[in-house]
């Protein structure tokens, strides 16, 4: 028996998925459809219905402490719609929020929208900037240029939001100077959180087709490793601390909501395609509008429910914790699973000892070896 199960935490994070975008960026395979205003209102109605239904199962015993609207492009919804969704959450769940984040595309925010978001209670904006090189932005199919992104960041900071920006690295035609310029400009603008995404070439995307046709040249594995290392170096020089393999911050401005995923804490994902980890179960919502709506009409919206065994939970806990710079908390591990981590995994630790930092209280992957995480972790599973 687990001494202290992973699902006994009384706090909950809620993720809300908004599957609309004005157009599709060439690399993206997220669950999102190109903007259709009629569909949007119907979606909001169903989403609010799902919030009510889910509160029947998940509101009791939990305090919601993080709320995250992601997408897609949640800032495409109008203020009345965003208000409606957040009100439904506040009315149906016991909330004591330490963070309310929303993903924003630079071309969907202006002063009026940001003030209205403040009014709803949003505290943090995660802005999809990707690059400050106009040529690269155009290549990616982004609808904004660098100037527009800078304006959105300045405005958000001026209005008092915590601001995070997304950077994409490893792009065709992207130089190391582009990467350094991104970090430098974000830093000078006062951004305190940067998520760095290594380009992933997904099946079915225009990017994949262009690479296959030889119209864009993908970087080699060595080039990708070099650019990743270079980005980490630039971030470190400017005082950004890496707290997770792809996430960097100053002044402890971590993403509390995303930390829940890596700390194996419960989160409830509502909206099309959203995933949940609640009460020791993983499950997801349908990723098709009709199936999603039908599920809510019939009060049965949970798909692919997977009850995690103690062994599954232990593996997930190890995998996710090693993503964090702080790694595995040894006393938390023994409390949750009833074993001493250092004894149970002594062989894997011995094999990887050059890559690991071991203290009395924790074990983690050394900063310079975090990118080898996948090959290190297999020895622990
Ligand atoms: C779901 S998007 C939400 C942000 C918002 N939709 C936007 O693009 O402005 C979150 C982030 O994932 C990253 N991303 C999406 N597809 C990616 C891919 N194929 N490879 C690497 N990063 C990707 C981008 O940095 C993007 O900002
Ligand atoms: S990257 Fe963001 S804006 Fe672009 S298609 Fe994907 S979700 Fe939409």
User: What is the rounded CA–CA span in Å between residue 287 and residue 303?
Assistant: 10
Peptide bond into 72 cis (omega under 30): yes
| pLDDT of amino acid 32 | 85
| pLDDT of amino acid 368 | 86
Strand order through the sheet with 328-329:
328-329, 362-365, 356-358
Q: What is the pLDDT along the chain (381 residues), one digit of tens a residue?
A: 233 344 444 899 999 999 999 999 999 999 888 966 889 999 999 999 999 999 999 999 899 999 999 999 999 999 999 999 999 999 999 999 999 999 999 999 999 999 999 999 999 999 999 999 999 999 999 999 999 999 999 999 999 999 999 999 999 999 999 999 999 999 999 999 999 999 999 999 999 999 999 999 999 999 999 999 999 999 999 999 999 999 999 999 999 999 999 999 999 999 999 999 999 999 999 999 999 999 999 999 999 999 999 999 999 999 999 999 999 999 999 999 999 999 999 999 999 999 999 999 999 999 888 888 999 999 998
Pocket of ligand 1 (CB under 6 A): 27-28, 30, 71-73, 103, 105, 128, 130, 166, 168, 197, 199-200, 202
Task: Decide if 245 contacts 371 (C-beta within 8 A).
Answer: yes
Helix or strand or coil: residue 33? Answer: strand
CA 131, 174, 225 angle in degrees (round to 5)?
105
| pLDDT of amino acid 325 | 93
- Which residues are within 8 A (CB) of 93 and not within 5 positions of it... i.e. 6 or more apart? 12, 14, 55, 58, 59, 62, 64
| pLDDT of amino acid 31 | 86
| pLDDT of amino acid 38 | 81
Interhelix angle 146-158/176-189, nearest 10 degrees:
30
Strand order through the sheet with 247-249:
241-244, 247-249, 193-198, 162-169, 124-130, 95-104, 63-71, 11-18, 267-270, 275-278, 281-284, 303-307
Cβ burial of 76 (10 Å; 0-12, 13-18, 19+) is buried
Task: Decide if 168 contacts 220 (C-beta within 8 A).
Answer: no
| pLDDT of amino acid 35 | 67
Domains of the chain: 11-261 (3.20.20.70), 328-381 (no CATH)
| pLDDT of amino acid 142 | 97
User: What is the rounded CA–CA span in Å between residue 187 and residue 250?
Assistant: 10
To the question of pTM greater than 0.75 for the whole model, the response is: yes
User: What is the rounded CA–CA span in Å between residue 164 and residue 247?
Assistant: 10
Task: Return the best residue to mutate from 26, 27, 68, 163 for the ligand 1 pocket (most ligand atoms within 8 A of CB).
Answer: 27
Locate 119 and state its tokens. 């009014």
CA nearest neighbour of 67 among 95, 26, 40: 95
3-state per-residue secondary structure call for 1-18? CCCCCCCCCCEEEEEEEE
Task: Decide if 31 contacts 19 (C-beta within 8 A).
Answer: yes
Task: Decide if 43 contacts 19 (C-beta within 8 A).
Answer: yes
Q: In degrees rounded to 5, what are phi and psi of residue 40?
A: -60, -50
CA 86, 8, 340 angle in degrees (round to 5)?
135
Strand partners, 281: 278, 307
Ligand 1 centre from 223 Cα, in Å? 21
User: What is the rounded CA–CA span in Å between residue 242 and residue 287?
Assistant: 32
Ligand 1 centre from 294 Cα, in Å? 29
Minimum CA distance residue for ligand 2 atom 2: 72
Ligand 2 centre from 34 Cα, in Å? 9
Minimum CA distance residue for ligand 2 atom 6: 28
Locate 108 and state its tokens. 């969907």
Ligand 2 centre from 379 Cα, in Å? 35
- Which residues are within 8 A (CB) of 159 and not within 5 positions of it... i.e. 6 or more apart? 111, 114, 115, 118
| pLDDT of amino acid 370 | 87
Pocket of ligand 2 (CB under 6 A): 21, 24-25, 28, 30, 32, 71-73, 105, 128
Helix or strand or coil: residue 196? Answer: strand
Helix or strand or coil: residue 44? Answer: helix
For every residue of 51-88, DSSP letters joined together read HHHHHHHHTTT-EEEEEEEEES-GGGS-HHHHHHHHHH
In this structure, the number of other CB atoms found within 10 A of the CB of residue 353 comes to 9
């Amino acid at each position: 028996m687990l001494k202290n199960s992973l699902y006994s935490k009384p706090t909950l994070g809620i993720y809300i998925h908004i599957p609309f975008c004005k157009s599709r960026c060439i690399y993206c395979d997220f669950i999102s459809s190109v903007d259709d205003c009629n569909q949007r209102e119907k979606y909001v109605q169903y989403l609010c219905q799902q919030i009510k239904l889910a509160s029947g199962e998940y509101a009791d015993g939990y305090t919601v402490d993080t709320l995250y609207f992601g997408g897609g492009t949640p800032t495409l919804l109008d203020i009345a719609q965003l208000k409606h969704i957040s009100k439904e959450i506040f009315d149906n769940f016991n909330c004591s929020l330490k963070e309310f984040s929303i993903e924003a595309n630079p071309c969907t925010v202006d002063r009026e929208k940001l003030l209205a978001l403040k009014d709803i209670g949003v505290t943090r904006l995660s802005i999809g900037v990707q690059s400050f090189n106009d040529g690269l932005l155009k290549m990616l199919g982004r609808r904004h240029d660098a100037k527009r992104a800078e304006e959105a960041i300045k405005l958000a900071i001026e209005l008092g939001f915590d601001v995070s920006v997304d950077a994409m690295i490893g792009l065709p035609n992207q130089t190391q100077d582009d990467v350094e310029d991104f970090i430098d400009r974000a830093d000078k603008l006062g951004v305190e959180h940067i998520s760095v995404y290594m380009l992933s070439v997904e099946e079915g995307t225009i990017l994949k087709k262009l690479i296959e046709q030889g119209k864009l040249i993908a970087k080699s594995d060595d080039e990708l490793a070099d650019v990743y290392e270079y980005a980490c170096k630039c971030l470190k020089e400017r005082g950004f601390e890496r707290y997770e393999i792809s996430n960097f911050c100053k002044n402890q401005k971590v993403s509390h909501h995303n930390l829940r995923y890596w700390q194996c804490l419960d989160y409830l994902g509502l909206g099309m395609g959203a995933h949940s980890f609640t009460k020791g179960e993983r499950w997801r919502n349908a990723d098709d509008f009709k199936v999603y709506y039908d599920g809510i009409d019939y009060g049965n919206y949970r798909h692919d429910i997977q009850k995690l065994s103690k062994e599954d939970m232990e593996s997930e806990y190890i995998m996710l914790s090693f993503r964090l710079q702080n790694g595995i908390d040894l006393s938390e591990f023994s409390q949750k699973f009833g074993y001493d981590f250092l004894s149970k995994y002594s062989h894997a630790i011995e094999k990887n000892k050059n890559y690991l930092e071991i203290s009395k209280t924790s074990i983690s992957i050394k900063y310079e070896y975090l990118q080898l995480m996948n090959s290190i972790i297999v020895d622990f599973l």
